[in-house]
Amino acid sequence: MKVSPILQVFIIFCSLTTGSANLLPAQQIGLQLYSLRNQFKTDVPGTLAKIKDWKITAIEGGGTYNLPVEEYKKLLQQNNLQMVSYGAGFEELQNNPQLVADNAKAFGSKFIMCAWVPHKGAFTIEDAQKAIAVFNTAGKVLKENGLQFCYHPHGYEFMPFEDGTMFDYLVKNTDARYVNFEMDVFWVKHPGQDPVALLKKYPKRFLLLHLKDRKPGTEGNQEGHAPDETNVVLGQGDVGIAAVMKEAKRIGIKYCFIEDESPTPVEQIPQSLQFLQSLK
């Protein structure tokens, strides 16, 4: 069927104005609320409204910014925001995974994520073994509650170990029925790994993504720390976001959360969305 020039222009216009959720088939661009941690300190309703203005509907969060749960849930509803992923601390998962499940289900979440394993100095085999035990146990409880647990590596898990890395050890020894992973592409790049290669290595274990780009020239480390200023607009760094998104689409990752830890997230996030809209 031949499409008229006027209709072609209309189609292009619609593709640019219907929001990021429609940009990539079977994927949804969301936001990790930590990006706006400073804005939430002074204006919770206004910050949620800003996310709505960006046409983002999927969020990853945890906690209510000192608001009553029902009041916070009402604000999410008013701004058409769905907390599809709920963040929990390691100690919460260790001490009361059922409470974590109850809190997440109150928001209608589908995933539980944890982004840090407590440790002192370098991440050791003992730290990894403790994490494996906690994650397998908590993950089973969460699965029984209809939730999927994902651990978010933070860079320190890529220390060499045996014939691979400590992260490989975590993957091998966690039960895939109960434990999977959320890749933060910055924290894979920073310790010297290749995010695309890791997605290809474990295509069935990564269920979620954090999209974050790194300022070119940034010196990496295996400590899980970097200055906030090294977070740049997606597509302007050295992580290779376009290639990551292509592979994420191929392996079926559904939720890709922008996480902008820079001092200027309100300015950077719209530019990052624009970059994602440009991807084919």
Q: Give the model confidence (pLDDT) of 207-238 as tens digits.
A: 999 999 999 999 999 999 999 999 999 999 99
Instruction: Evaluate whether 220 touches 191 at the Cβ level (below 8 Å).
Output: yes
Residues 207-240: b if buried by 16+ CB within 10 A, e if exposed: bbbbbbbbeeebeeebebebeeebbbbbbbbebb
Query: What pLDDT, in 10s, does the model give residues 183-204?
Result: 999 999 999 999 999 999 999 9
Percent of the chain with pLDDT over 90: 89
Contact 239, 214 (CB under 8 A): yes
Q: How far apart are CA 184 and CA 177, in angstroms?
A: 21
DSSP for the chain, written as a single string = -PPPHHHHHHHHHHHHHS-GGGSSTT-EEEEEGGGGHHHHTT-HHHHHHHHHHTT--EEEE-S-TTS-HHHHHHHHHHTT-EEEEEE--HHHHHH-HHHHHHHHHHTT-SEEEE-----SSS--HHHHHHHHHHHHHHHHHHHHTT-EEEE---SGGGSEETTEEHHHHHHHHS-TTTEEEEEEHHHHHTTT--HHHHHHHSTTTEEEEEE-EE-TTPPP-SSS---GGGEE-TTSSSS-HHHHHHHHHHHT--EEEE---SS-HHHHHHHHHHHHHH--
Taking only the tens place, the pLDDT of each residue in 47-83 is 999 999 999 999 999 999 999 999 999 999 999 999 9
Higher-pLDDT residue of 2 and 143 is 143
Q: Which pLDDT band, with edges at 50, 70 and 90, does 146 fall under?
A: very high
CB of 81 closer than 8 Å to CB of 52: yes
Q: pTM to 2 decimals? A: 0.89
Q: Are 235 and 242 in contact (CB under 8 A)?
A: yes
Q: For residues 23 and 234, is the Cβ–Cβ distance under 8 A?
A: no
> In the prediction, which pLDDT does 2 show?
43
Overall size of the chain counted in residues: 280
Instruction: Output the CA torsion 48→107→274→219 (10° steps).
Output: 100
- The amino acid sitting at 225 is H
Where residue 7 falls among pLDDT bands split at 50, 70, 90?
very low
Report the C-alpha gap between 103 and 96 in whole angstroms.
11
Average pLDDT over residues 95-100: 98
Residue 19 has pLDDT above 80, yes or no: no
User: Could you tell me the two tokens for 267?
Assistant: 């300015």
Structure token digits, residue 65? 């910014």
Average pLDDT score over the chain: 91
The tokens for 112 are 């539980």
Q: How far apart are CA 27 and CA 243, in angstroms?
A: 15
